[in-house]
Every structure is written in C-alpha cells, then in structure tokens.
A and B are shown apart, each in its own frame.
Chain A
C-alpha cells in the first residue's frame, strides 16, 4: 500500500513539475520575444539612461527577463528589470509587460503609461484594447498581435520587418 501511495505521489510530483516547467518555457519564450522586439523599435530615450523593462503583476516572465538582463545590454545600455504591484506604482520605463495575472483592469494601467513606453500584454483582446503588442497562442505556437495605432500613440516607430511578422490589430 505504501509503495502504491508513494508511487502516486511521485507521479503527481513529476506531473506538477512538468506543468511548472512548461510555464517556465513559455515565460522564457515571451522574454526572448520581448528582447527581440527591442531591436525593431526606434527608441527615443536619452543615450545614457538604462533600458528599463517593467512587469506589472506577478509573472514568471519577470524571472526570465532578469536572466536576460544579467547577460545582455541594449546598444551598450544596461537593462534594468523592475516590478510594479499596481498601476499607481508605474514609473517611466521603456517597456511595460502587463502580466495576465495582473489584478487591475487594462484601462487603469494604460492611463498611467506615459509616452515612450511600449506596452506588451498576454491576454486575448488586449491589443484591440490598446496595448502595442499582445502575445497569443496560435495552434501551440506563440505569436504576437500588433496595434500600430497604439505604437504610434506611444511616440514609437516599429520596423516594418517586425510588423510583417505580427498579426495586425486594427
């Protein structure tokens, strides 16, 4: 009986472990996408500022971005990853990643985002509601929607190569 029980516990553990890993894989992938996006955006930040990527809401993407910040830089600028708990915490940043776990409405976040910040989300319909980019899962593959109006409204310019790969939301 003990063996059976232990076996079941082991299997449950390994299953839970695999699901957790799967989430981490997806988070890593999103972080890699975000890092790639940076290369295709015409940024207007002062040259000596660090490059700030912020995450609002709890998300494993934060940890993945931290990993990137340890080893990469943007045109010689250090990457700094910051975390906001709620919309009131939002301070100027280059990228704001809006976690699906964020407990706040999108509109309450977007009204606090200033010009020059690229917003990236991971909830169906968020690009249509005003984020610049939104991750979507299409047949098991991670794709991204782009809202050209939101990018323009942020005072940024995305390269056509990037937009060509995006699912454009009007």
Chain B
C-alpha cells in the first residue's frame, strides 16, 4: 500500500512539474519576441526540448544573419571583433588573425574549435589556420560562440570555446544571390549563394573568390607587398534528401587561401640596405616582404577540404540519432615558400609544405525521456594521418646564386624529401544528462563527461556541470564548471631535437563561471559573466625549440575576468549593443620560475554599436572597438603597447528594386587612427617584430543581386 501511495505521489508530481514547464513556452511569453527571435527558437532541439540562449547550460553568443548584414561583417574576424572576450593580434598575412579566447594568449588559434555545421574545421597538423578571407559570412545563417571548456561534448581543443558557423540551407537561400565587392588596397571579391528545396531534395552551393594587395607597411620596405591575398577561394555545397523521418546530407567544402607572409617576421632591413623599420627591431634576421625574382615575396598557400555524409534520423519528437562520416585534408600546398636571411649577407629560399588527413565517424543520440529528463550520448572515432611537422627539404647553403644582379640566394634548388607521417587514433565517448526542476522557479541541472583515448597523448576525462536557474520571467542565473584539454600538435611535437625521446602532454584547463542575465523587457537584455580559467601543462614554443632546455609542458596561467553585455532594441528601427571586459591574466614558467602578466591581453576593453533602419530604405550601422593597454612578451624590448579606439561604419540599402539589389559601403577605422598590436611569440625584434603596425582607414563597397 505504501509503495502504491509513493507511486501515485510521483505520478502527480511528474504531472505537476511537466505542467510547470509550460510557463516558459507559453504564448504570452512568445508574444514578447520579434519574428526573427521566433524564427530562431528551436521547436525541437537536439536534446528534444525547446531552449533559448538564456536557458542553455553554457555561455553562448549568437550572431545572426541579420546582424552580419547590418554591421557589414564580411568574414569571421569582423564578427568576432565586436563580441567580448576575444583578443586579437593582426599579422596581415600568413594565415589569419590570431584570436585569444578570454585571456588565453599563446598556442596560436589552437585553443578554440572552429566548426562549420558541427564539423571541426581546424588544421589537423596544428598550424594556426582559423578562418581567413575565404571564410566569408555571406552564406552563414548564424554564428554560435560557446564560451568556456566544452571538451565534455567535443573532445580535444574545445578548450577556450567553440565557434560554430551554421550555413544557410537551400530553403533559406531559395534562389540565387550574387555579390561583387571592391575596396581599398585593390581588394576585390565575388561571392554567390544558390539554393532551393524541391520536393524531398534540398540543394545549396556557395562560393567566394577574394584578392587584395593588402595594406603596405613601407617602414619595413618601400616596396612592401607581403600582405597580399591572391585568389583565395571557397566552395561549399550540400545536397539533402528528406525522407519521412530522416534527413541524409552529402556535403563538400573546400577553402584555399594563397597569401603573403605579411608581418609574420621582421623585415631584413640591413640586408636590403634600408633604414631600420623602427620600434626597436634589429633588421638582421627576417623574411623578404617585397616582390623578388619577378614573383611574390613569399607564399603561404593553406588549404582545407572536407567531404561528409550524415544522416539525422528522428523517429519521434523524443529521440534522434545523428550519424556522420567525414574525410578531411588540410595543409599547406607545396608551392609555398619564403626568402629568409639569418645573417644579412645572403637569402635562403625555403619551400614549405605539409599535408594531413583525417577519417572520422561519429554517432550521437539524444533522448528525451520527458520534459524533465534528457540524455545525450555519443561515440566518435578519428584516424589522423598527420605529417611530422613541416616537410623536410634538401638544404644547400653553400652554393650562392646571384639573382637580378643584386640578391645572393642559396638553396634555390631545394626539393622536398619524402613525407614522414604519424598515424594517430582517437576514440571518444560522452554522456550528458539534463534534469529540469521547478526548484527556485525553474532550475535545470546538466551533468556531462567525455572520455577520450589517443594513441599519442593517452587518456583524457573532461567533466562538465552546469546549473541554470530562471527566477521569474526576467532573471536567469548560471553556475558552470568544466575541464577541457588541448592536444599537442605535430608542429609542436616535431619542433624539438630529433630522437630526444620527447613526449608532450596535453594542455589542461579548468574553468569556473557564473552568469546573471536580466531582461526587464523583451527589448533589453543585460548579461554579466564572471569567470576563472586555470591553465596547466601549458606548452611554450620557445622552450620546445631550445635543445638545451626542452621542457615538456612548462607553463601555468590563471585568468580572472568579468564581462558586461547589453543588447537592446531602442525602438523598432534602432538596435544597439555594448559590452565591456575586464580580465587579469597571470602566467608562470615553471622552468625559469619567472612569472608576470600574460602578454597580448588587455585588462580593459569594450565594444559598442548602433544600427538604424532609416525610412525602410537605408541601414546605418556604427560601431566602436576599444582595446586598452596590452603588455608585451618579456623578451620584447618595446614594452607595453598602448590602447586604441577604432570606429567602423556600414551603410547598406534595403528594399532597393523590391529587394532585388543591395548596395553597401563599409569603412573600417573611420577616423584613420594609428594603432599597433603587440608582437607575438618572442617579439624580441630579432626574428619576430616587437610590435605589429596596422593599417589606417579602409573601405569596401559591395553590390548584391537577388534572383
């Protein structure tokens, strides 16, 4: 009898709790949302229940297609510029800008996962490719940035965060969209989107072609031309078949970015018999940055190609399975090269290439037992064929060649030696459980963990806990804890002396985070984030490259930060955003016992912007990016780099010729402010510049046609 009563009580409680959930998805609540917000609500999410950004058990920034258009974002870097929590160092060449998530300077672009439609896009080898001009946003429906460690779901390298770019599908495009743009520095680009859904088939194809001479830094060389991009392109296509309860998609995408080395290294001004480039740089060692031998100064020709097939099977609203197989190739094409001098007397021509591939398969399952209990689980197997660092070449430094009657160059007949590679296998599995309760209003608990095994770096266990409390309609609190890891790359592993029995460990991070979100009305959203990142076993490149003190994982970094974010619709036609970040990053080298502020990270910075729809005809968007003083590396004689404030303007038309034609004008650094980024790596003025000069005003005009 007693048991029966217990069961009846549970039964009634179940019903009551389920009923309580309806309040958050009630029609009165939905009436406060705009059409665009309604369109962004998942009717059924992967976990089987409706969830908003506030309810999600993570800190998420969403950049919508509308914001991309209003603010004139052309590539990923433009969009990341306006969000809190990302520090950037612009090299203006050699792969794209370096991004540092929440104060995590170092490990260039390796501490975040870039995903496109859920498939990781990062270079397998570990060179610092993350986006770039070929990664255009014209075919992006939205960008989701998940902050903090998410290895519990995604495995290696979901360390500081995950950037997931969601592409527009055929039905979203529903026709043809083409763009042509021209801009400063002889920039030109063409972009297109075409797609449709007909019956059970959906098709989407997007592409870009981008070229620029890039900004000129004449203090490095009067004929500087190292920041060019020559016909960088992308092609992204997918075909989906919609069966009654499943969608099967085959997709292919390729990105290629032939570009100069920019300000990656110092200019060898002594060799070129030029005045010093300034800022305490020595000009003895460096890379040629103007055209030579009738060709470009240098070339970094990065490529990524991904093919995938996936099936989403959803027999009912409570259960779905996503199965995916993909094959990806990444590397630097073998036409890449630099001219470098180490002693200011002769140049060495250095060809550079690498090639790696990955075959991967994954199955993830989401099951919603009820509105209270949701489970997610998955298994992933990756097999990497990864090159052992940059490919070795023949080396002849003793035979000089006189080029153009001026330059003494050696090694010009260098050829590649056979490719050496490792086979690495990763097996990962995860389980996550969400529990929804009506404790203190509505409180959701998320418990998750992932276990990974890799044939090089061994085992990794990544737990995650999140508690989300929605107190009334307007207030949300979150508490988050997570651990994640970054896998050492083959570039790092093979920088050390050969045969030294050297074994790198994983970098580890533990993050604690607290969030408060307050929406006094549907038109205002205030968010406050507080976080602490503790990094251990940090890999430091300069120690790895020294044969004398090759330490395995010598660094530790701790970062405390606070972010304040405001998004508001001031009127129906005016939207605004503002965010400010305070962070304090402290690092210690456990070999040298030296400690200090982490370079490249501003204590204070902020962004703000305003978008106005004028007469239903123009959209004017103004934004400002303020970055405070940034410390430089200990080895940098220049010292700290002072802050800057840049203003950006975008004006675009809407509804011109019944929305068939759009025209936009974008000006970056409107007031031509002179600004610098701190140098990266050693920034000692020897091989790497002490500071990196940045361009003044630049503009872009774009015409789009919708058919």
Contact = CB atoms under 8 A, between A and B. Distances in A.
A binds B: yes
Contact of A15 (B43, B318, B655): B318
Given A64-B27, A143-B39, A138 B171 contact: yes
A18 B4 CA distance: 23
Interface in B542-566: none
B371 A21 contact: yes
Contacts, number: 120
Nearest to A10: B11
Interface stretch (A85-93, A101-109, A114-122, A156-164): A156-164
B15 A17 contact: yes
Contact of B50 (A25, A33, A162): A25
B174 A168 contact: yes
B404 interface: no
B375 to A, nearest CB: 14
Nearest to A159: B616
Interface stretch (B17-25, B146-154, B224-232, B267-275): B17-25
A6 interface: yes
Interface string A124-165: 000000000000111111110000000000000001111111
B318 A19 contact: yes
Contacts of B595: none
Interface stretch (B29-37, B287-295, B383-391, B530-538): B29-37
Given A18-B370, A142-B41, A167 B35 contact: no
A64 B35 CA distance: 17
A118 to B, nearest CB: 15
Contacts of B10: 10
A129 to B, nearest CB: 14
A26 interface: yes
Interface residues of B, number: 46
A73 to B, nearest CB: 12
A21 B50 CA distance: 11
B27 A141 contact: no
B218 interface: no
Nearest to A6: B7
Contacts of A35: 31
B38 A33 contact: yes
Contact of A143 (B30, B33, B171): B171
A167 B30 contact: no
Given A29-B43, A139-B169, A168-B174, A13 B11 contact: yes
Interface string A28-43: 1101110110001000
Contacts of B370: 14-15, 17-18
Contacts of A136: 171
Range class of the A interface residue count: 35 or more
Contact of A167 (B42, B174, B371, B659): B174
A28 B174 contact: no
Contacts of A22: 43-44, 317
B656 to A, nearest CB: 10
A142 B43 contact: yes
A29 B31 CA distance: 9
- Which secondary structure dominates chain A's binding surface? helix
Contacts of B222: none
Nearest to A37: B35
Nearest to B372: A14
B343 interface: no
B369 A32 contact: no
Contacts of A164: 654-655, 659
Contacts of B172: 138, 143, 167
Nearest to A63: B27
B14 A10 contact: yes
A149 B43 CA distance: 29
Given A25-B43, A164-B659, A168-B174, A142 B38 contact: yes
A28 B30 contact: yes
Interface in A43-78: 64, 67-68, 71-72
B45 interface: yes
A19 B7 contact: no
Contact of B27 (A14, A68, A143, A165): A68
Interface in B150-172: 169, 171-172
Contacts of A143: 39, 171-172
B592 interface: no
Best-surrounded residue of B15, B27, B33, B35 (most CB of chain A within 10 A):
B27
Interface of A: 2-3, 6-7, 10-11, 13-15, 17-19, 21-22, 24-26, 28-29, 31-33, 35-36, 40, 64, 67-68, 71-72, 136-143, 159-165, 167-168
28 contacts: A6-B4, A6-B7, A7-B7, A10-B7, A15-B369, A17-B14, A18-B18, A18-B371, A19-B316, A19-B317, A19-B318, A21-B22, A21-B371, A28-B30, A32-B38, A36-B34, A64-B27, A67-B26, A138-B171, A141-B40, A142-B39, A143-B39, A159-B616, A160-B655, A160-B658, A161-B616, A165-B36, A168-B174
